[in-house]
Amino acid sequence: MSDSPKKATITLDDKTIDLPILSPTAGPDVVDIRKLYGQANVFTYDPGYTSTASCQSTITFIDGDKGELLHRGYPIDQLAEKSHFLEVCYLLLYGELPTADQLEWFESTITRHTMLHEQMQYFFRGFRRDSHPMATMVGVVGAMSAFYHDSTDITDVRHREIASHRLIAKMPTIAAWAYKYSIGQPFVYPRNDLSFAANFIHMCFSVPAEPYEVDPIIARAMDRIFTLHADHEQNASTSTVRLASSSGANPFACIAAGIACLWGPAHGGANQACLEMLREIGTPDRIPEFIARAKDKNDPFRLMGFGHRVYKNFDPRAKVMKQSADEVLDLLGVHDNPVLQTAKELEKLALEDPYFAEKKLYPNVDFYSGIILDALGFPTSMFTPIFALARTVGWISQWKEQLADPEHKIGRPRQLYIGEPFRDYVDIEKR
């Protein structure tokens, strides 16, 4: 980013304020309003931050009009095809694709952080068996700050790096154990001889009573899903992590806050909501009924997995996910999956409808992901935990970037106050 001589001029009553315009590497220019309140005694108003850049970043860039997603400049479709999740983790954390030696060091480091402190099992056992795994993940990840004191000093670069590695490495174990606990099966420990994705599959689906071989097709599909969910600019959960971190909170508390935010159906919870919606639709002949409901202003129903704050074109992750869905289901011998057929027909009919075309509503990352996860054997309740597992590297990369930013300070938005003006207390007898 470089300060260009360009400026924006605001005129308020008798005052004229010049605000510098900052030019990015890509995307829209940014009007720097940091001095606005001091110079003009006014706030800007932007609920939902539709026009607000909350920070400067070098990690991920989205071109919503083109439907392009770049991680450190590399397009997501190339990363999904040619790279793998731990290499993408290295790229997001350190800014460049690793050499062979760097990748070997990183994979070995992550592998050796996958175990949880044995006493943490007691946290899982404090939950009801029917707890949503996201509730368990929020609790257990937050509790990590009670165990890993040697990586909570955010002023220590080494602590920050160890915390980053621990969180990336331990999230699959936490997610898998939350799943095992919910189905009453014993926890399966991580294995150092398995890849990141294969290890997660093994911890979820193996049982001590018999050997379990991870299907490489499933492991590859799982790895690709992790890659497609790794990071996504300043989305709601990443912004939550940044805001929590701005107070100096430890990394485990910040990531727990991000997990909590991701859980919502408007955000990461949409993958579960989307598959449940597709199942409720059932057969393609009922699609018009649901499209009508989605268009009805008086009906709160929305097409889950459709629409996006930034993408006004196809979400590139949805495109890769759609191709993956066809491949994985075919390779798994799941032909004519009714849910996938319904999803494809829904996408076709919605995109032909002027309502969706005018509002530029396209399938997003959550539209097809649930179909693949369902085919891989996961219950819908595990869809968002898998999203959280994958997004941890994005959250922690953004967390590290913010801590290293000399301009960073505690986030403290202002407001447009429309409540009561000053008034004196009224004794109860006079009310």
Tell me, rounded to whole angstroms, the distance of Cα 280 from its chain centroid: 25
Separation CA 255–CA 265 (nearest Å): 18
Between residue 308 and residue 347, which ones bind ligand SDX under the rule CB under 6 A?
Answer: 308-310
- Min. distance of Cβ 428 from ligand SDX in angstroms? 43
Q: Which stretch binds ligand SDX (CB under 6 A): 199-207, 267-275, 338-346, 413-421?
A: 267-275
Q: Whole-angstrom distance between the N-terminal and C-terminal Cα of the chain?
A: 58
Taking CB under 6 A as the criterion, the residue among 307, 316, 370, 385 binding ligand SDX is: 307
Does 270 help bind ligand SDX (rule: CB under 6 A)?
yes
Between residue 218 and residue 237, which ones bind ligand SDX under the rule CB under 6 A?
Answer: 232, 235
Separation CA 324–CA 94 (nearest Å): 28
Catalytically active residues, by annotation: 308, 366
Does 302 help bind ligand SDX (rule: CB under 6 A)?
yes
Separation CA 345–CA 363 (nearest Å): 12
> Which of 120, 291 has the CB closer to ligand SDX?
291
Does 361 help bind ligand SDX (rule: CB under 6 A)?
yes
Does 398 help bind ligand SDX (rule: CB under 6 A)?
no
Q: Which stretch binds ligand SDX (CB under 6 A): 17-25, 156-164, 239-247, 362-370?
A: 362-370
Short-list 217, 212, 152, 228, CA closest to 176: 212
Contact present, 304 and 274 (Cβ < 8 Å): yes
Does 384 help bind ligand SDX (rule: CB under 6 A)?
no
The string of DSSP codes covering 159-189 is HHHHHHHHHHHHHHHHHHHHHHHHTTPPP--
∠374-378-384 over CA atoms, to 5°? 95
Does 250 help bind ligand SDX (rule: CB under 6 A)?
no
Contact present, 281 and 339 (Cβ < 8 Å): no
Q: Which stretch binds ligand SDX (CB under 6 A): 27-35, 171-179, 203-211, 296-304?
A: 296-304
Does 304 help bind ligand SDX (rule: CB under 6 A)?
yes
- Min. distance of Cβ 390 from ligand SDX in angstroms? 10
Could you give the dihedral angle defined by the CA atoms of residues 321, 294, 237 and 30, in that order, rounded to the nearest 10 degrees? 100
Does 92 help bind ligand SDX (rule: CB under 6 A)?
no
Interacting residues toward ligand SDX by CB under 6 A: 48, 232, 235, 266-268, 270, 294, 302-310, 359, 361, 364-366
